[in-house]
């Protein structure tokens, strides 16, 4: 059993600090875990945002999207998760690139933190760029500031930083002639694609952390297969990071949407259950 | 009352009663019901107790077959189960999934002319193991004192369970690292409920845990610890690698990444391990195909096809490149699939999977094949026939044409020798080139059977015992140990 030590809600992203000392001891930046809230859950791959080898805790930011993550979101400190498997995936390649730009949105705001930290330790100039709909949706900022030379913001409503998205910030920097030697992006597929398109004209080596559907996470099932430069790769064992300029985004989006209808069905059965319970309580 | 050989010869083989095909093809309950005690005794009386015990040599783990059958004939069912367990720690499983017709039953004297007339050794094995379990007669055998050695086993599939089971009974501490949240490996993620109920796997693993085998779940070796870490950090004295199936192979034809195209591993893992046939109670979803095509002719293809039917497919078609008699699947599985009205398109192979605008599979184009000269495996090579294409509609394609070696462990253990396909190289006893590192099962042989993996585990356990005892005081060596 894996105890949930701390739980906090940042809009639809949920901070989960979990006791998993073996994972805390072996994980490296860019790797992920697969978690199950209970024995009925799906196996959900989640990037690890932070870890502490002294306390044996790992920090995850879970986007509530679908039933299994909703059930995770309902868990409270002191509860236990049914399964936490990891570390999985190949760690990010960390070296002294010069200037590194990291872009994060959604769960990727927390997700880029360990990569930024490792890049900083490797001697890079680190520019972190994070996006959200509005300013109150940012999180993990203090930590990110501590390992970045610069933290830039983008919000849809303009309430903090630039009005727009990460690719607008990075696009503007590149136009102004800021030299970026390497870029990492983490967030939803649409964001990864747009950011990759922003760095493409400048031929900046760009790594994106792909989030295709996974099952076992050890290469056994092939559910997570993605096309990279025309070659089929498994995101769980060959990735999760790939060259953002070579990803077949259309295929990735299509494969990710395979179970949209099922999500609706299961949500319905879940909310029906909730309604029934509510009604029962009212009657009592 | 002792029967004469003539009387024994006069008894016909007892089949197992089964769920009728048109009932079972819509449920996940086990297909054969099992023997009654009367049937088991009558079947056991068919055994001639030959002097030359060929059946034992036909068994990869050398179960004392005539002896256990004699106990069945005397209605000593639990004793029979315990006798099997001296050689095979998972009899309820092997009784169900072993290909007896090419092993013990193939060489049975009663089946010399016709293997379907052999003594039903597998059925009897299943019966006694079920009898012992269902009547709560399972006993924890007495174990010798601990000898102080710690063994790490990677993977809780059939070979890993065998290694752990054998070594714990010799006084070792055995610890299994399993990547999934449940134990059993292919027994839980691969083989469907209707062929091997998961309760049985759970119970047999529980019996090993009762013996003191420790199982750490959710632990992916190669990532969490490297093989060397298991020695240096965790203090193990030997490591057995039994990680099983590798990466799935997809065909190199257009359309393989369309939605609705699955590897059999994914399809079966969703249904079996994640129980998506019970969706939405279990949250892992499964796309239900109406017209399903399964590529391949092995047991995994049969399992996939029969699962698709039970999940609600209207029509399931198996597409196989060679002829029926060349299908690697067990005869019983092919027979069950045919009974359930699964269609076979033999000597055919897809050249393209068609998709619609939304990117979902809609059909496939196949080419017909004919049999040519024999290849290295001795099977006649399938040769494509020119301009012999045909098409049919399918909204789901399950690819069950095998796999390649999983590199998770070998890539993080660079000083361990692998062959050109990435499978681990071992000697006859499972020793790798790395001292005190052993391997067996599919990660050595490529896809094979449960029992051959168990046989590899049995041999490796012997080698581990021999090698570690050599390292230590001679007096620690058990006096009756056979040195191979």
What CATH number has the domain bearing residue A28? Answer: 2.40.30.10
Burial B222-255 (b: 16+ CB within 10 A, else e): bbbbbbeebbeeeebbbbbbbbbbbbbebbeeeb
pLDDT at A6: 96
Least Cα separation, residue B107 to chain A (angstroms): 36
Count H helices and E strands in chain A, helices first: 9, 16
> Tokens 């779940």 appear where?
B217
C-alpha–C-alpha distance, residues B435 and B464, integer Å: 10
- A273 sits in which H/E element: helix A260-283
What average pLDDT does range B103-119 have in this prediction? 91
Contacts of A51 in chain B (CB under 8 A): none
Contacts of A221 in chain B (CB under 8 A): 248, 263, 265-266, 269
Identify whether A255 is part of a domain. Answer: yes
The answer to whether residues A68 and A122 belong to one domain is no
C-alpha–C-alpha distance, residues A235 and A58, integer Å: 22
Of B220, B223, B269, the CB nearest to A221: B269
User: Considering only alpha carbons, which residue of chain A is nearest residue B234?
Assistant: A22
CA distances A262 to A45, A69, B10, B280, Å, are: 18, 14, 57, 8
Total number of domains in chain A: 3
What average pLDDT does range B1-5 have in this prediction? 81
List, edge to edge, every strand of the sheet that includes A80-81.
A80-81, A2-10, A13-19, A57-63, A44-52, A32-36, A83-88
* Beta pairing, strands B380-393 & B437-439: unpaired
pLDDT at B473: 58
Quick one: three-class SS letters along chain B?
CCCCHHHHHHCCCCCCCECCHHHHCCCCCCCECCCCHHHHHHHHCCCCCCCCCHHHHCCCCCCCHHHHHHHHHCCCHHHHHHHHHCCCCCHHHHHHHCCHHHCCCCCCHHHCCCHHHCCCHHHHHHHHHHHHHHCCCCCCCCCCCCCCCEEEEECCCHHHHHHHHHHHCCCCEEEEECCCCCCCCHHHHCCCCCCCCHHHHHHHHHHHHHHCCEEECCCCCCCCCCHHHHHHCCCCCEEEECCCCCEECCCCCCCCCCECEEEHHHHHHHHHHCCHHHCCCCCCCCCCCCEEEEECCCHHHHHHHHHHHHHCCCEEEEECCCCHHHCCCCHHHHHHHHHCCCEEECCEEEEEEEECCCCEEEEEEEEEEEEEEECCCCCEEEEEEEEEEEEEECCEEEECCCEECCHHHHCCCCCCCECCCCCECCCCCCECCCCCEEECCHHHHCCCCHHHHHHHHHHHHHHHHHHHHHCCCHHHCCCCCCCC
The answer to whether residues A149 and A105 belong to one domain is yes
Say whether B223 and A86 touch across the interface (CB within 8 A). Answer: yes
Quick count: other Cβ atoms within 10 Å of Cβ B27? Answer: 13
Q: Which residues partner with B353 through β-bridges? A: B364
Identify whether A243 is part of a domain. Answer: no
Summarize pLDDT for B273-292 with one digit per residue, the tens. Answer: 999 999 888 999 998 999 99
| ipTM, 2 dp | 0.90
Least Cα separation, residue B328 to chain A (angstroms): 21
Domain span at A221: 214-237+248-284
- For chain B, the maximum distance between any two Cα atoms, rounded to a whole number of angstroms, is 73
CA distances B472 to B150, B166, B437, B466, B483, Å, are: 14, 19, 17, 10, 16
The answer to whether residues A192 and A270 belong to one domain is no
The answer to whether residues A167 and A115 belong to one domain is yes
Closest CA to B81 of B40, B38, B39, B46: B40
Identify whether A43 is part of a domain. Answer: yes
Closest CA to A132 of A162, A176, A89, A112: A162
pLDDT at B474: 54
Share the mean pLDDT of chain B. 91
Identify whether A80 is part of a domain. Answer: yes
Query: Which DSSP symbol is given to A217?
Result: S
Q: Which of A67, A88, A109 is the last residue of a domain?
A: A88
C-alpha–C-alpha distance, residues B377 and A117, integer Å: 54
The answer to whether residues A162 and A186 belong to one domain is yes
| Token output for B456 | 């590899």
Q: Which of A65, A88, A111 is the last residue of a domain?
A: A88
DSSP SS3 for A108: helix
Cα distance between the two ends of chain B: 40
Identify whether A196 is part of a domain. Answer: yes
Percent of chain B whose pLDDT exceeds 70: 97
pLDDT at A108: 95
CATH (residue range B5-134): 1.10.1060.10
Q: What would you report as the CA-atom Rg of chain B, rounded to the nearest whole angstrom?
A: 23
C-alpha–C-alpha distance, residues B267 and B358, integer Å: 21
Identify whether A151 is part of a domain. Answer: yes
Q: Which of A209, A226, A256 is the last residue of a domain?
A: A209
CATH (residue range B249-403): 3.50.50.60
Say whether A262 and B248 touch across the interface (CB within 8 A). Answer: no
Contacts of B286 in chain A (CB under 8 A): 262
The answer to whether residues A41 and A72 belong to one domain is yes
pLDDT at A243: 97
Question: Mean pLDDT for each 10-residue chunk of chain A (284 residues)?
Answer: 93 93 96 95 95 96 88 93 96 96 95 97 97 92 96 94 94 94 95 96 96 92 94 94 97 90 71 51 48
Least Cα separation, residue A219 to chain B (angstroms): 5
- CATH class of segment(s) B150-246+405-476: alpha beta
User: Considering only alpha carbons, which residue of chain A is nearest residue B258?
Assistant: A255
Of B250, B260, B265, the CB nearest to A220: B265
Q: How many CB pairs under 8 A join A and B?
A: 120
Domain with CATH 1.10.1060.10 in chain B: 5-134
Q: Please, are residues B463 and B429 in contact by the beta-carbon 8 Å criterion?
A: yes
Say whether B248 and A221 touch across the interface (CB within 8 A). Answer: yes
Summarize pLDDT for B201-253 with one digit per residue, the tens. Answer: 999 999 899 999 999 999 999 999 999 999 999 999 999 999 997 899 999 99
* Phi–psi pair at A15, nearest 5 degrees: -80, 125
State how far Cα B434 lies from the chain centre: 27
What average pLDDT does range B182-205 have in this prediction? 94
> Best interface-test mutation with A: which of B154, B182, B271, B283 has the largest number of A CBs within 10 A?
B283
The answer to whether residues A104 and A198 belong to one domain is yes
Q: Which residues partner with A131 through β-bridges? A: A105, A154
Say whether B224 and A86 touch across the interface (CB within 8 A). Answer: yes
User: Considering only alpha carbons, which residue of chain B is nearest residue A216?
Assistant: B180
Identify whether A242 is part of a domain. Answer: no
Residues with Cβ within 8 Å of residue B105, at least 6 apart in sequence: B55, B58, B111, B115, B118, B119, B120, B121, B122
Domain with CATH 3.50.50.60 in chain B: 150-246+405-476, 249-403
Of B217, B225, B270, the CB nearest to A215: B270
Residues of B with CB under 8 A from a CB of A: 179-181, 189, 217-220, 223-225, 245-248, 250, 256-257, 259-260, 262-263, 265-266, 269-270, 274, 279-287, 358-359, 406-408
Identify whether A94 is part of a domain. Answer: no
CA distances A175 to A165, A169, A180, B340, Å, are: 16, 10, 11, 65
What average pLDDT does range B427-440 have in this prediction? 95
Summarize pLDDT for B287-303 with one digit per residue, the tens. Answer: 899 999 999 999 999 99
pLDDT at B477: 47
User: Considering only alpha carbons, which residue of chain A is nearest residue B358?
Assistant: A254
Of A85, A217, A255, the CB nearest to B259: A255
User: Considering only alpha carbons, which residue of chain A is nearest residue B279?
Assistant: A266
C-alpha–C-alpha distance, residues B409 and B166, integer Å: 24
Closest CA to B320 of B272, B231, B382, B261: B382
CA distances B468 to B233, B426, B430, B474, Å, are: 19, 17, 14, 11
| Token output for B146 | 């601990």
Burial B187-205 (b: 16+ CB within 10 A, else e): bbbbbbbbbbbbebbeebb
What average pLDDT does range B177-204 have in this prediction? 94
The answer to whether residues A110 and A84 belong to one domain is no
The answer to whether residues A223 and A176 belong to one domain is no
> At residue B348, does pLDDT exceed 50?
yes
**Residues counted in chain A:** 284
| Token output for B338 | 């045919």
C-alpha–C-alpha distance, residues B461 and B483, integer Å: 13
The answer to whether residues A167 and A221 belong to one domain is no
Q: Residue B483's pLDDT band (boundaries 50, 70, 90)?
A: very low
Least Cα separation, residue B280 to chain A (angstroms): 6
Of B218, B279, B407, the CB nearest to A85: B218
Least Cα separation, residue A215 to chain B (angstroms): 7
C-alpha–C-alpha distance, residues B445 and B241, integer Å: 13
Say whether B180 and A269 touch across the interface (CB within 8 A). Answer: no
For residue A87, say if its preceding peptide bond is cis, omega within 30 degrees of 0.
Answer: yes
Least Cα separation, residue A57 to chain B (angstroms): 15
Summarize pLDDT for B374-418 with one digit per residue, the tens. Answer: 888 788 889 999 999 999 999 999 999 988 898 899 989 999 999
C-alpha–C-alpha distance, residues A108 and A144, integer Å: 12
Closest CA to B29 of B310, B308, B304: B310
Of B217, B257, B284, the CB nearest to A251: B257
Summarize pLDDT for B68-96 with one digit per residue, the tens. Answer: 999 999 999 999 999 998 888 889 988 98
């Amino acid at each position: 059993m894996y105890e949930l030590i701390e739980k906090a809600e940042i809009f639809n992203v949920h901070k989960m600090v979990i006791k998993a000392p073996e994972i805390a001891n072996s994980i490296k930046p860019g790797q992920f875990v697969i978690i199950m809230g209970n024995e009925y859950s799906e196996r959900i791959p989640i990037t690890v945002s932070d870890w502490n080898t002294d306390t044996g805790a790992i920090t995850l930011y879970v986007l509530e999207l679908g039933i299994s993550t909703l059930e995770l979101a309902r868990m409270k400190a002191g509860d236990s998760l049914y399964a936490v498997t990891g570390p999985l995936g190949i760690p990010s390649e960390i070296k002294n690139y010069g200037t590194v730009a990291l872009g994060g949105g959604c769960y990727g705001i927390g997700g880029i933190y360990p990569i930024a930290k490792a890049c900083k330790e490797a001697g890079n100039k680190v520019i972190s760029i994070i996006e959200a709909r509005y300013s109150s949706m940012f999180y993990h900022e203090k930590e990110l500031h501590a390992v970045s030379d610069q933290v830039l913001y983008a919000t849809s409503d303009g309430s903090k930083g630039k009005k727009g998205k990460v690719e607008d910030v990075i696009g503007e920097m590149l136009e102004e002639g800021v030299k970026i030697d390497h870029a990492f992006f983490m967030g939803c597929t649409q964001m990864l694609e747009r950011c990759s398109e922003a760095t493409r004209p400048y031929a900046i080596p760009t790594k994106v952390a792909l989030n295709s559907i996974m099952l076992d996470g050890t290469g056994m099932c092939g559910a997570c297969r993605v096309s990279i430069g025309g070659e089929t790769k498994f995101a769980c064992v060959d990735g999760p990071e790939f060259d953002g300029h070579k990803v077949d985004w259309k295929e990735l989006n299509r494969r990710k949407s395979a179970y949209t209808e099922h999500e609706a069905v299961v949500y319905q059965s879940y909310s029906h259950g909730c309604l029934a319970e509510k009604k029962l309580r009212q009657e009592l | 009352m002792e029967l004469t050989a003539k009387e024994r010869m006069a008894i016909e083989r007892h089949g197992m009663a089964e769920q009728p095909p048109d009932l079972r093809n819509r449920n996940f309950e086990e297909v054969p019901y099992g023997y009654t005690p009367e049937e088991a005794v009558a079947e056991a009386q068919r055994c001639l107790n030959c002097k030359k015990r060929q059946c034992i040599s036909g068994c990869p783990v050398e179960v004392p077959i005539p002896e256990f059958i004699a106990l069945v004939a005397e209605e000593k069912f639990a004793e029979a189960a315990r006798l099997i367990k001296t050689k095979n720690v998972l009899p309820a499983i092997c009784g169900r999934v072993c290909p007896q017709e090419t092993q013990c039953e193939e060489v049975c004297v009663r089946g010399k002319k016709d293997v379907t007339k052999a003594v039903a050794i597998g059925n009897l094995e299943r019966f006694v193991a079920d009898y012992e379990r269902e009547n709560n007669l399972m006993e924890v055998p007495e174990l010798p004192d601990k000898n102080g050695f710690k063994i790490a086993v990677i993977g809780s599939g059939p070979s890993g369970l065998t290694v752990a089971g054998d070594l714990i009974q010799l006084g070792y501490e055995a610890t299994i690292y399993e990547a999934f949240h449940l134990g059993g490996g292919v027994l839980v993620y691969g083989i469907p409920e209707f062929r091997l109920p998961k309760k049985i796997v759970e119970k047999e693993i529980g019996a090993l845990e009762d013996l003191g085998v420790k199982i750490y779940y959710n632990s992916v070796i190669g990532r969490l610890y490297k093989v060397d870490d298991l020695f240096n950090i965790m203090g193990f004295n030997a490591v057995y690698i039994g990680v099983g199936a590798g990466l799935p192979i997809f065909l190199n034809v257009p359309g393989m990444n369309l939605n609705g195209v699955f590897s059999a591993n994914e399809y079966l893992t969703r249904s079996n391990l994640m129980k998506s046939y019970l969706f939405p109670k279990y949250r892992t979803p499964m796309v239900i195909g109406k017209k399903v095509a399964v590529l391949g002719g092995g047991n995994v293809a049969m399992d996939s096809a029969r699962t698709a039917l039970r999940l609600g497919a209207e029509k399931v078609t198996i597409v196989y490149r060679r002829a029926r008699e060349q299908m690697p699947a067990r005869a019983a599985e092919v027979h069950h699939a045919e009974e359930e009205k699964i269609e076979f398109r033999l000597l055919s192979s897809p050249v393209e999977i068609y998709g619609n605008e939304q990117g979902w599979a809609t059909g496939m184009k196949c080419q017909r094949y004919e049999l040519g000269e024999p290849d290295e495996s001795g099977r006649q090579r399938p040769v494509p026939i020119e301009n012999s294409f045909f098409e049919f509609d399918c909204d789901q394609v399950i690819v069950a044409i095998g796999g390649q070696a999983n590199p998770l462990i070998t890539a993080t253990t660079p000083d361990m020798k692998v062959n050109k396909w990435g499978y681990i190289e071992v000697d006859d006893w499972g020793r790798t080139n790395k001292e005190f590192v052993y391997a067996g099962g599919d990660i050595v042989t490529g896809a094979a059977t449960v029992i051959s993996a168990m046989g590899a585990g049995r041999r490796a356990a012997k080698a581990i015992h021999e090698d570690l005892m050599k390292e230590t005081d001679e007096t620690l060596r058990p006096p009756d140990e056979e040195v191979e």
